[in-house]
Amino acid sequence: MAELSTRFLNMTLSSPLVVASGILGTSAPVMERCAIAGAGAVTSKSAGPEPRSGHANPVAVAWEGGVINAIGLTNPGCHEEVAILTEAKARLAKLGGKLFASIFAPTVEAFGEVARVTAQSEPELIEVNISCPNVASEFGTPFSACAPDAAAVTRSVKQALAGSGIPISVKLAPNVPNLSVIAKACVAEGADAITAINTVPGMLIDPWAGKPVLCNRSGGLSGPAIKPVALRCVYELAAALGPSVPIIGTGGVSSGLDAAEMILAGATLIGVGSVMVAEGPDALTRINAELSDYMDQMGYASLDDFRGKALP
């Protein structure tokens, strides 16, 4: 039978599947269910420096190609989040699961402070969500759109975590012209891994009401529709960064074959998100089984046997 355990940075995960940030929140019981269902790690919903109530409803809608949402980074603030993360980690540890904590902030300095506070819960990894507006920028351009800004955030977080032993993965956005340049800038400042990708900006309009469906007008598209975009990004990054920088391939994975494609493109871990809106954590069990079946059919004993095989 195929071996799904995966070596990632300084840890071994029971499965390459990682629950993506924002899908099921940060509730410890829900995270526990995900680990039981087969997640190697669970990523918390992004937390920032202060509590945020997020956007007014409607904030999310199922669409034929996935889900489009504009939640608005709802969170209790990083100080309140620490207790939630600590409980989640304790529950996951009993099941062999890992906790990845996602953070965001409005300034470079705030990213460092949020990372410092979040580290108190001792997650196995901190995922740095840089697809948020830089309020210090004249136009509020997201940190993910600019290599110097992305690098500055990475440097701030690494400095804040110095001595903690907690690695970081920087989560990149797909709607940039220079993805590899941005990734290399983050790695140069100490990023241990890269998460690719965040959601793709999009919009739905109600033709009968004559206005956008989401209260925020536009939002982030996830699900099957973005899988080709995510695959292209993972492939590009794996080719540019090489095998020494692990990639968490995220975007549109809803089957074992989707997961296999991510591995073939060079991903080390595979983020799973929107499929659980319809199926719940049981989707993880199914995807793991389908991935294992694929490996058996292809004669692959481990994920290392075909990781990056599609690369030139």
With contact defined as beta carbons under 8 Å apart, do 51 and 77 qualify? yes
Residue 212: CB atoms within 10 A of its CB come to 16
Position 64 scores a pLDDT of 85
Position 63 scores a pLDDT of 87
Query: What does the block give as tokens for 88?
Result: 């989640």
Position 23 scores a pLDDT of 82
Position 138 scores a pLDDT of 61
- Please tell me the distance from the alpha carbon of residue 249 to that of residue 230, in angstroms, as a whole number: 7
Strand stretches in 46-105, DSSP E: 60-63, 66-69, 98-103
Please state which CATH class domain 6-305 belongs to. alpha beta
Q: What is the mean pLDDT of residues 154-163?
A: 98
Look up 146 and say whether it is catalytic: no
Q: In the structure, what pLDDT confidence band is assigned to residue 65 with cuts at 50, 70 and 90?
A: confident
Position 191 scores a pLDDT of 98
With contact defined as beta carbons under 8 Å apart, do 100 and 43 qualify? yes
Q: What is the mean pLDDT of residues 197-226?
A: 94
Residue 292 DSSP SS3: helix
With contact defined as beta carbons under 8 Å apart, do 28 and 91 qualify? yes
With contact defined as beta carbons under 8 Å apart, do 235 and 311 qualify? yes
Of the residues 132, 146, 186, 233, only one is catalytic, namely 132
Instruction: Looking at 95-198, list the stretches that DSSP marks H as alpha helix, in order from N- to C-terminal side.
Output: 108-118, 147-160, 179-188
Q: In the structure, what pLDDT confidence band is assigned to residue 280 with cuts at 50, 70 and 90?
A: very high
- Please tell me the distance from the alpha carbon of residue 68 to that of residue 203, in angstroms, as a whole number: 8
Position 137 scores a pLDDT of 66
How far CA 85 is from CA of 40, 114, 120, 281, in Å, comes to 16, 13, 9, 19
Q: Per the confidence metrics, is the pTM higher than 0.85? A: yes
Residue of 37, 4, 34 whose CA lies nearest to 19: 34
Q: What is the mean pLDDT of residues 163-191?
A: 97
- Please tell me the distance from the alpha carbon of residue 28 to that of residue 35, in angstroms, as a whole number: 11
For 104-158, how does the pLDDT look when each residue is reduced to its tens digit (9 = 90+)?
999 999 999 999 999 999 999 999 999 887 767 666 789 999 999 999 999 999 9
